[in-house]
Chain A
Amino acid sequence: MSSLANQFPACPKCRAPLGPELFNRGQLIPCPNCTTEIRVEVFPAMYRTVEKARPNEAVMIPGESACFYHDSKRAVVVCDSCGRFLCALCDFEFNNRHVCPQCLESSQKKGAMGELEVSRKTYAHLAFVYSLIPLFLTGLCAIYLAARYWKAPGSLVRRRRWEMPAALVLGILQTLAFIFLILLIFYH
């Protein structure tokens, strides 16, 4: 029954399977088992069968195009990025494009495929935070980060284009203020 049980959502609290009359009601209803108020929205993807991977076929006829990475396997597709022949194992279909593992990895590193990006350093924000902490070296850090990563992409969702210029200005001001303070202490 485990495979069948996986087909249907359970109560998020007590894990008891729920009936279809409890789905997609658009409001909170009590779970028949634990009486916790729940709302469960189920979508057609729930019952979509997962496509199985194509079998990796061996080269049968001499001279038949083989996979770039596996000599003995028949090529089934061409990499849309580098043009290499790929077998079923090496073919990654992503956003209606077929790419090889190497191109996928390099795209991920370069950030060429936005959908593959899982994290991003927010240098602008970091520089701005540094520029607000008055500890002398933090001002220099803010200037360095602003100069070094001026063109680095910012946040994916929050467009704060003012952060990098503000960090640079505040970092310079902070550093100048510290230099002035040091000069004042030594030459007064």
Chain B
Amino acid sequence: MINILVVVEDNRGSMHRMSKEAIAGAQKIGGSITALVIGDNADTISNELSSIAIEKTLVVKHELVSSYNPDGYTEIVTQVIESTSPDMLVIGHTYQTRDFMPRVSARIDIPFIPDIIEVEQDIYTKQVLNSKLNSSVSSLSDMKILSFQSACFSAEDILTGRSSSQNFDVDLDPSIVRSISEEPFQESAAEVDLESAELIVSVGRGIEKEDNIPIAFTLAEVLGAEVSASRPVIDSGWLPSFRQIGSSGSAVSPKLYFSLGISGAIQHVVGMKGSKNIIAVNKDPDAPIFEIADYAVVGDLLEIVPKLIEALKTEKDL
């Protein structure tokens, strides 16, 4: 039986949903599972872990890591690996993981295979080339370090049970921490609640220019939908950031997700793939969004949407 270490992330006082998926993944892979929780909220989170079928939880509390910083986490995770010699380390593919896990990889010279969407024995699938192709990746080292993309495993599959926790003492020199983090904050209050919207019209790069954005709002108005966007539209400043869907924005699962000119990179797809009905319009017949769409409309949204608006208006008048 292999030993699996799961590094659990503190998401403002509770276990990050991606950590739950990582635990479900570790259970599915099969082995003796140890969870590692770090920081001021470690007790609350280890309490959450106590009713999950794992071997044990290691708790690290130290003034240098009362909140996250990459130097402290790198040192702690390295010390835990050295002390417990796991065969495999698994973690959710979060922004925090991307921030410190490569540091651990470099420090112990063990490859970090990130952003995995499927696990089959020792072969890990990740997306490449703007999500248009998949790639099978293998680790050439005995110990594996893996991060799982959202929905690689489901938190609903977690096996419950009983487990205990124990403190893990770390030896930390204050000089290792070279960054000072300020309090996290939110930028602008959201004017719409995308997460509870029933119908969503979402725009991507294919809208081509800011002047075309009103087309999406007109369609949304006819349908009684909210308007959201993919990252490139937000980055161009055409719509405010609270309208963003994806890993750095909202995650939604409306009755209708009407996607206009969105290619469907994984960072976007993780935020909307739970939608009940997905209609996607895109000029590119190979756009990755079509893989998850229920209806793949191949064509120019700038031609289709104005005609559709007219047709829907007529339909409603009947």
Co-assembled chains A and B: no
Identify the A interface with B (CB < 8 A): none
